Structure 1
Amino acid sequence: MSKDRPAPEAPAPLFPLVDSHTHLDACGASDAASVTAIVDRAAAVGVERVVTVADDLAAAQFAVDAAHWDPRVYAAVAIHPTRANVLDDATRAEIERLAGDPRVVAVGETGLDFYWPGKLDGCATVPEQTEGFRWHIDLAKRLGKTLMIHNREADQALLQVLRDEGAPETVIFHCFSSDAEMARECVDAGYVLSFSGTVSFKNAKALREAAPLVPSDQLIVETDAPFLTPHPFRGAPNEPYCLPYTVRALAEIRGEDPDDLAKASTATAERVYGLRPVSG
């Protein structure tokens, strides 16, 4: 993402959408007014609700606050796998307290990331990530909440941990970026796959082959803003209002009408997160 590139222009609206994974704090939100401004921009193009996601303790505390500041915002809290080495007793206790908040709809993002160890200073090792992932799985099950997964270059290891621990009732693979074989395995296991702007990238051949294989009742959409801005704005700052670009790209790949895909993805997001309709 380059701050030198201008923000994308607002897309044409689609049927009311849910941005199933965004980071409002990383988008620049810091208080109730800035959260509302971002969500207002999204609502203007049909993105009526967002799930803001934590990757560390400060972000988890912010996410819960944001979800109380604006009824269109929900939260997901966890410690990112690359930071799993900070999961001491005090941090676990605070994440568990936050995860119990009624505005928190998922435990996440958690999982495994095999890309960064050895490349990023201070990155959690694979054993540390695995231990943290197991703890988050247990937390999601104890609280009866959806598990939101981060997976980078760890397909089979991640599936094995889920099998070993026993997956929660609902599992979401955030920013699904794997191939058709992995998509089939996840679909067969009953998991939900979330597609981001990466599906619009022309060089994402394996992902674009996987996307049509996912049933609509196991598919949701996300921005992962401020990252992964969809084509043709790749590299520009992302925000929840950009979600219709991804939905239209995904619909083209799947041979579907964008409005139909929007409706289906929203229905699935409402079900897996237990979202309430927007009052109005």
Structure 2
Amino acid sequence: MEWLANMNRALDYIEMNLSGNIELSEVARHACCSSHQFQRMFSFITNVPLAEYIRRRRLTLAAIDLQNHGAKVIDAALKYGYESPVSFGRAFQQLHGVTPSAARIEGTALKAYPRLSFLISIKGAEAMNYRMETKEAFQVFGLEREFQIDGGGEMPQTPAQWWQHCHENGAIEQLAARAGGLPSFVSQDLHKVHALCSYKHTGGDTFPYMLCAFRNESSAVEGYSVISIPTLTWVVFTSELFTWDAFDNIIETMYRRFYGEWLPTAGYEPVDSMEFEIYGSRDGLQYVELWFAVRKAQ
């Protein structure tokens, strides 16, 4: 259960530094993955963004300091990373429903968000469709972009917005036209353009994303980035057939079940930097495959 131990070590680091500076790169180091991958895993498993969890824990401890230890408001604000009592008071009231000064009064009702721990949860209400495959080395080519983890930066700010932008300007259709045929190791009812996620380190606050096609002898790759994928073992999860309006819910559920149900109990751990979203269609409906590069847990 090394994967669970790594995740809990990351939470231990967060807990020990709630009154100091929390480096996301250090959080990720404890979890043995990239910063982006840890934040995605955390969000899918807990349904709470990592930054929001940290904010809640800090404000929980601040309330304890104010109510039980008689701390001054300005001291609590500075201790838990706020630049001024005003910004601290605004965040505190948003979470607890009362001002920091009111929290010092005996009998004031406050909220507490306890420290999380990752444990194995026996669920299994629904079957998960997956297969294990070892694929020989191959290449993909396409359009690369870096995105900020917090969703900031220039438009388009998210992969979904970038897909829309590239559909509108014809870049998707052009990439599909230059892809050539599909390789023999994938289903022949796949689309030509897919997504490669988190395949290299770009820094603690950004992650890479690529709109890609499989490269073969008939592909025209001039002007595109080319990425070499080494021989790896993949766990492949396949969705049921769906219509495009259900896509967001389908793919979010698949990610959540991989991180929250399959990975903690399967005896495997992710190989950082290799993850595909593969799209296909059959009988007039769509489906998606998620490919996660994995290895036997140490």
- The normalised TM-score by structure 1 is 0.23
Normalized per residue, which structure has more strand?
2
- The normalised TM-score by structure 2 is 0.22
Normalized per residue, which structure has more helix?
1
